[in-house]
A and B are shown apart, each in its own frame.
Chain A
Amino acid sequence: MNHQPSPDERTRLLITQLIDGELSSTDAAELNQLLRSDSKHAELVVDQLLLDSLLSEEVGAESLTALVDLVAEQPPSVVEAQPATTSTTVLRLPRGSRRFWQSVGGVAVVAAVVVAFVMGRWENRALANAATIVRAAMETHAEPVERVYIVQTERPAATDAGFTPPRDVRVATQGDRFYVEMNRGERRWYWGLDAEGAIWLTLGPRRAIIVDQDELGLPLQYISDLYTLNLETLLQNFLKHCTLEHQAGSRATDLITVIPKRRWHGGWLRKATIEVDRETKAVRRLVIEREIPQQGTSTVTFTLVDSRTPDESKYRPEGHLTEPFRLLTRETQPDKRRELMTNWFGPAAERWIKTLETKPQ
């Protein structure tokens, strides 16, 4: 037996189709008719569309001003402790054994010397192995393949009040170049850095803002620090300035822990963990813990989700815009940029651009 929907059900069904972008012109006419027939249908329609709008905001990643919140609130701190290194625990004696060796006095001294010797040899091998793996990853990432990473930032629950970080942030990277895609439901924006360190940021399909490096307010600098992924330089710096330790990873990956040497403070790195695919040598996962002065601690995790042929145009704002579009720069529209950013991201975006003076020659 066929169920004949009531007019209320029919209205809900049609409005669902409208919400999902599947309403045909015949259905639109029917909805129009239903709305005309009884005012209660108008109420049903508003309820459903309000629900849709709220779902887009609540579930669709972040609130409208999330990007502002991201930088306006207290800086994030590390919440998740990294797993203990296995390289040292492998050579640690089990508790019972250790107690036994302690109890036999002099024998323990000999044992300690032997353990130290073995550990030293093992560590040297581990270090060399770690460097080889990182070099291999560097070579892989220099290839003309674009890799896309999902980015997660972490902050402790204590500072979470009112803050929803974007759920869907992706970084596309090839060699030392990158661009970031941020998604909130059906709203999406892109940004990246140009060769001179200026940030470009697309606002919809027809406008992009360019903020020169010397104009970057602290919040924008923070976003840039958080999501920038110059993978080639990063790995190079790891090799040059950090102690690398090879840990036991999964069957398919090698795990490298990176600790900066005492004198190196580049990128404010505190610790990094790199997971390298054993077969392809691509970086599958990268966890970066940083302690940035005045901005606090942050943990950013990049997880590989896609490898593809790079689209060169996407590394520039024009590649994300549709003609006719406008690029708003310090020279062309200095004030409009601030106004637009405030409209898009809320009042805190006023601080994103330091000054609106003309560019120094």
Chain B
Amino acid sequence: MSDGIRNQVVQEIARHQSRLRGFVRCLLVRSGDVDDILQEINAVLWEKADEFQPGTDFWAWASQIARFKVLNHVRKLGRERLVFDDAILEQLAEIAASKLEQLDQRRAALDHCLQQLPPPQRQLIDLRYAGGQTIELIAESIGRPAGSVRQALYRIRTALQACIEGQLAMGGESS
């Protein structure tokens, strides 16, 4: 493989990290396992770099490899804990691969929607994601029952999702 192609593949892998990460997460992989699987996917993409045809759709190629990798991972886990059917995972992979094509628009919409959140809700999101804290820890740090934090996060995520959908719909109309 020439240095030029190698460099191109490296750049494509890096450019698609966020998309690949989202894809892995959408296949119901536990958040703690996502990065490890992503690393394995990166390694396979790198190993198979010479199979990639420059000028073709990198995402289509990479998401196929990611799909196999995740399904293998899930099958291995099958013996240890209850996981989801292959058919369901295939279905999720299909939907995720398609939705992830709009990842940048989703990200922009999320940025907008986060700005609309009232400060207490934003604080909860920060505690959960920036601080990486569990529900129990958040509850302890803000002096609220865990159930109430759980419910609040559920409502915030639902509201954010509705806001994103609204933003995407508006974007679709204007374009």
Footprint of B on A, CB under 8 Å? 12-13, 16, 18-22, 25, 28-29, 31-32, 35-36, 39, 42-43, 45-61, 63-65, 167-168, 183, 185-188, 203-204, 339, 342-344, 346-347, 350
Q: Does B161 reach chain A (CB closer than 8 Å)?
A: yes
Closest residue of B by beta carbon distance from A28: B82
Q: How far is the CA of A31 from the CA of B31 in the complex (A)?
A: 17
In-complex Cβ contact of A49 among B28, B110, B128 (8 A): B28
Closest residue of B by beta carbon distance from A51: B161
Which residues of B (1-46) have their CB < 8 Å from a CB of A?
A: 7, 10-11, 13-14, 17-18, 21-22, 25-26, 28, 30-32, 35-36, 39, 42-43, 46
Set of chain B residues within 8 Å of A25, measured between Cβ atoms: 81-82
Of B51-59, B66-74, B85-93, the one contacting chain A is: B85-93
Which residues of B (86-110) have their CB < 8 Å from a CB of A?
A: 87-88, 91-92, 95-96, 99-100, 103, 106-107, 110
B14 touches A58 (CB 8 A): no
In-complex Cβ contact of B95 among A43, A51, A187 (8 A): A43
Q: How far is the CA of A13 from the CA of B151 in the complex (A)?
A: 9
Interface size range of chain B in the complex = 35 or more
In-complex Cβ contact of A36 among B14, B30, B88, B164 (8 A): B88
Q: How far is the CA of A52 from the CA of B157 in the complex (A)?
A: 8
Q: How far is the CA of A20 from the CA of B127 in the complex (A)?
A: 13
B96 touches A22 (CB 8 A): no
Give per-residue flags for B105-120: 1 if the beta carbon is below 8 A from chain A beta carbons, else 0.
0110011001000000
A183 touches B82 (CB 8 A): no
B10 touches A50 (CB 8 A): no
B129 touches A204 (CB 8 A): no
Main secondary structure of the interface of A (DSSP, over half): helix
Q: How far is the CA of A59 from the CA of B126 in the complex (A)?
A: 6
CB-CB under 8 A for A57 and B18, given A42-B92, A46-B95 = yes
Q: Does B65 reach chain A (CB closer than 8 Å)?
A: no
The contact sample of 26 A-B pairs, CB cut-off 8 A, is: A20-B134, A20-B153, A22-B150, A28-B82, A32-B85, A35-B88, A36-B88, A39-B91, A45-B92, A46-B99, A50-B22, A50-B99, A50-B103, A51-B110, A52-B31, A53-B26, A55-B128, A55-B129, A56-B31, A58-B110, A63-B18, A65-B14, A168-B130, A342-B14, A346-B17, A347-B14
Nearest CB of chain B from residue A46's CB, rounded to whole Å: 5
Q: Besides the contacts A51-B164, A65-B17, what 12 more A-B pairs have beta carbons closer than 8 Å?
A: A12-B158, A22-B135, A35-B88, A35-B91, A35-B92, A53-B25, A54-B103, A57-B18, A183-B132, A204-B36, A204-B39, A342-B13
Q: Does B143 reach chain A (CB closer than 8 Å)?
A: no
What is the total of A-B residue contacts with beta carbons within 8 Å?
154
B25 touches A50 (CB 8 A): yes
Q: How far is the CA of A188 from the CA of B36 in the complex (A)?
A: 12
Closest residue of A by beta carbon distance from B126: A59
In-complex Cβ contact of B107 among A49, A58, A60 (8 A): A58
Nearest CB of chain B from residue A77's CB, rounded to whole Å: 25
A59 touches B39 (CB 8 A): no
CB-CB under 8 A for A346 and B14, given A55-B110, A58-B107, A59-B130 = yes
Q: How far is the CA of A185 from the CA of B21 in the complex (A)?
A: 13
Nearest CB of chain A from residue B11's CB, rounded to whole Å: 5
Closest residue of A by beta carbon distance from B25: A53
CB-CB under 8 A for A48 and B84, given A42-B95, A63-B18, A168-B131 = no
Q: How far is the CA of A49 from the CA of B114 in the complex (A)?
A: 17
Top 8 closest pairs, chain A to chain B, by CB? A346-B14, A59-B129, A343-B42, A53-B22, A53-B25, A60-B129, A64-B17, A25-B82
Query: B18, B107, B130 — which one has the most chain A CB atoms within 10 A of its CB?
Result: B130
A42 touches B46 (CB 8 A): no
B82 touches A54 (CB 8 A): no
Q: How far is the CA of A42 from the CA of B26 in the complex (A)?
A: 10
A13 touches B88 (CB 8 A): no
A46 touches B157 (CB 8 A): no
B130 touches A167 (CB 8 A): yes
Query: B14, B99, B111 — which one has the most chain A CB atoms within 10 A of its CB?
Result: B14
Q: Does B154 reach chain A (CB closer than 8 Å)?
A: yes
Q: How far is the CA of A168 from the CA of B132 in the complex (A)?
A: 10
Closest residue of B by beta carbon distance from A60: B129
B125 touches A59 (CB 8 A): yes
B14 touches A187 (CB 8 A): no
Set of chain B residues within 8 Å of A183, measured between Cβ atoms: 132
Q: How far is the CA of A162 from the CA of B42 in the complex (A)?
A: 23
